Structure 1
Amino acid sequence: MNYRHAFHAGNHADVLKHVVVLALCEALAAKPAPCFALDTHGGRGLYRLDGEAAQKTGEAQDGIARLQAQAPRDPAVQRYLAAVRACRAQHGAQAYPGSPWLLAHALRAQDRIVACELHPEEAQLLRSRFAGDPRVAVHAGDGYAALKALLPPRHGAQRYARGLVLIDPPYETQLAEFDAALAALREGLLRWPQGTFALWYPIKQGRALQPFRRAAAALPAKSALRLELLVRPDDSPLRMNGSGMLVLNAPWQFDAAMRPALDALRAALGDAGAAACVDWLRPPP
């Protein structure tokens, strides 16, 4: 595995993913019962945008930097920008939070978080990042395997009726990764049918994702919601023109909250021909 997220931290795909993740966390935290979160591909948890990797690609300039400059007033976007400010208050002006950091930031003392990372060096950095947080457990290993090992979630006598599974693979081999992610979602839903599952995926050409969307709609979930942000027209097969989030068992009225958020992201991050959509592949009953 050669993928390192440090090259892509803070880009437009991270912005979309993290806006959605924080909105899901807010929905989970709205009820007093403890909840559980599993991040299957956690990376190192915290990045530096002035580091060599981020500077080499410069992708954050068209992502978080561009969004901060425009600061849309949408509540979900403002929640994300506030989380980035909180991260930088702790770790410096060039810090950028990965999804494990955001989960730990957004969830509560009674909640539990498990973050997995396959790459040994990244896993060690992730473990050291959360060494002092009793809510967070780090597993150095395959996040897909963790779905079988950890679902349905429990901690001692505590069983969790509510929670989030975030799957954010590297898509180094795209067709194989889509198949693996769909299989993992099916397995996870069978083990924990009441959980919310969120899968991030890249978009080069949207029409190539039609088989994936049909397969996602057939998963054994109560509902399947897609949220997609294209920052440029998807007429080039050679670059990532946007990305999406598939949310299974989305919280009540989550689509209504996300539509203005994605419109705000499209306006702030998009070039000519940018587009955003929030629609149901399978509407809730």
Structure 2
Amino acid sequence: MLAYRHAFHAGNHADVLKHLILTQVLRYMGEKDKPYTLVDTHAGAGGYSIEGQYAQKKGEYVQGVSRLWDAKDLPAPLANYMELVRAFNTDGQLRQYPGSPGIANLIMREEDRLRVHELHPTDFRILETYLSTRPHTQVSDKDGFAALRAELPPPSRRGVVLMDPSYELKTDYAKVLTAVREGLERFADGVFLIWYPQLQLLESAQLAQRLKAAADASAKKGWLHVRLTVQQQSDIRGFGMLGSGMFVINPPFTLHDDLQACMPYLVDKLGQYDGANFLLEQRSS
């Protein structure tokens, strides 16, 4: 959606969950010598100013990454993620937050291929400048969902697809499901990372179940589903994001244990009410 700017939400609890998982998946992919491809369908600007007017307007980072910045007892996977956030802030102060392309740029090797897509013209220009010197990289202002048809399977047959649209339009839910089904037809052993908001909305509640059915039908290595609930219904109409989830198709075999170590910690640190909780489930093929 062209009006959407992720800068308003940079570093919130949903970014923490999403980028924790992205960090662990990309680190795992890099353990083999053979290069891999990352396709980011809704990339954003690459990085965001925590001190800027957008992030300051809602201050969502205060309930997210800020709560982990000075923590000394982080589980190892969270420590890996926070090392990247610190690398994005060279003066030792939390002033910037890396988006998904920023995380990827810090982890991926020169030989790994990066394909990022962003429709918002301002964020596209920022992203294009940020990644201008990275080899084997293409930055596109085309629709990321449609682009998957040409990107999959990648040349090395090793790849990760990250989908995290804004879901401000309900049609995004159907587009995600269609893109996953078509993506698995082309690349059944690819790693697909799908982020979604936890809302009191039928489309949100049903997405994980529909993704499970798609993965059960086509994925070679099963799926993993994790959800972090941090707050209660925000108003009497049921609006507001209660938390968020990540659905991972063909997950690294290490990811479940990584998250098992981290999720209770995130509930404790990021939970905003006594009933904060997490769900972690997995099915192997």
Q: Normalising by structure 2, what TM-score?
A: 0.92
1:49 is matched with 50
Please state how far the C-alpha of 1:90 moved relative to its aligned partner.
Answer: 7.9
Aligned 8 A contact 1:117 1:143 in 2: yes
Shift of 1:92: 7.2
Please list the CA deviations of residues 48-76 of structure 1 after superposition, one character each: whole Å capped at 9, or x if unmatched: 00000011111111111112133442111
Residue 275 of structure 1 pairs with residue 274 of structure 2:
no
Matches of 2:230 and 2:72 in 1, distance apart?
Answer: 17
CA distance in 2: counterparts of 1:190 and 1:4, whole angstroms: 32
C-alpha displacement at 1:127, in angstroms?
0.2
**Aligned residue for 1:152?**
153
Equivalent of residue 203 in structure 1, options 198, 221, 225: 198
How far apart, CA to CA, are the structure 2 residues paired with 1:119 and 1:207? 27
Do residues 180 (structure 1) and 182 (structure 2) align?
no
- Unmatched tracts of structure 2, length 5 or more: none
Name the CA distance, whole Å, in 2 between partners of 1:179 and 1:36.
25
* Cα gap change, 1:5 to 1:31, in 2 (>3 Å): same
Give the superposition deviation at 1:233.
Answer: 3.8
Give the distance between the partners of 1:91 and 1:82, measured in 2 at CA.
11
Q: What SS does the corresponding residue of 1:144 show, helix, strand or coil?
A: helix
The 5-angstrom pairing of residues 61-76 of structure 1 reads 61-76=62-77
Superposed displacement of residue 235, structure 1: 8.0
Helix, strand or coil for the counterpart of 1:148? helix
For residues 87 and 167 of structure 1, the distance between their equivalents in structure 2, rounded to whole angstroms, comes to 23
Q: Is the contact between residue 29 and residue 36 of structure 2 (CA under 8 Å) also seen in structure 1?
A: yes
C-alpha displacement of 1:232: 2.0
Q: Which runs of 5+ in 1 are unaligned?
A: 154-158
Secondary structure of residue in 2 paired with 1:268: helix
**For 1:162 and 1:73, how far apart are their aligned partners in 2?**
30
What is the TM-score of this pair, normalised by structure 1? 0.92
From 188, 193, 199, the equivalent of 1:193 is 188
Alignment partners' CA distance in 1, 2:43 and 2:73 = 27
Aligned to 2:160: 164
* Equivalence map 1:115-264=2 (5 Å): 115-153=116-154, 159-174=155-170, 176-205=171-200, 209-219=204-214, 220-222=218-220, 223-233=222-232, 237-264=238-265
Q: Letter of the aligned partner of 1:45 in structure 2?
A: G
How many Å apart are 1:135 and its aligned residue?
3.2
- Contact 2:13–2:65, Cα closer than 8 Å, also in 1: yes
Secondary structure at 1:30's aligned position in 2?
coil
Match of 1:156 in 2: none
Distance in 1 between residues matched to 2:88 and 2:76, nearest whole Å: 18
The sequence identity of aligned pairs, in percent, is: 36
Give the Cα separation in 1 of the matches to 2:124 and 2:72: 33
How many positions carry a matched residue from both structures? 277
Which is worse superposed, 209-218 or 162-171? Answer: 209-218
The CA distance in 2 between the partners of 1:161 and 1:78, in whole Å, is 30
Letter in 2 for 1:8: H
**What is the deviation of 1:126?**
0.4
**Conserved 8 A contact 1:104-1:136:** no
Are the aligned partners of 2:234 and 2:240 in contact in 1 as well (CA < 8 Å)?
no
Give 1:206 shift. 8.4
Q: Distance in 1 between matches of 2:92 and 2:75?
A: 26
Contact in 2 for aligned 1:205/1:235 (Cα 8 Å):
no
Counterpart residue identity of residue 110, structure 1: E
Specify whether residues 126 and 90 from structure 1 end up closer, same or farther in structure 2 by C-alpha distance, changes over 3 A only: farther
Deviation per residue, 1:135-167 (Å, 9 max, x gap): 3210111000110121112xxxxx222121000
User: Which secondary structure state, in structure 2, belongs to the residue aligned with residue 89 of structure 1?
Assistant: coil
Whether contact under 8 Å (1:259, 1:277) holds in the other structure is no
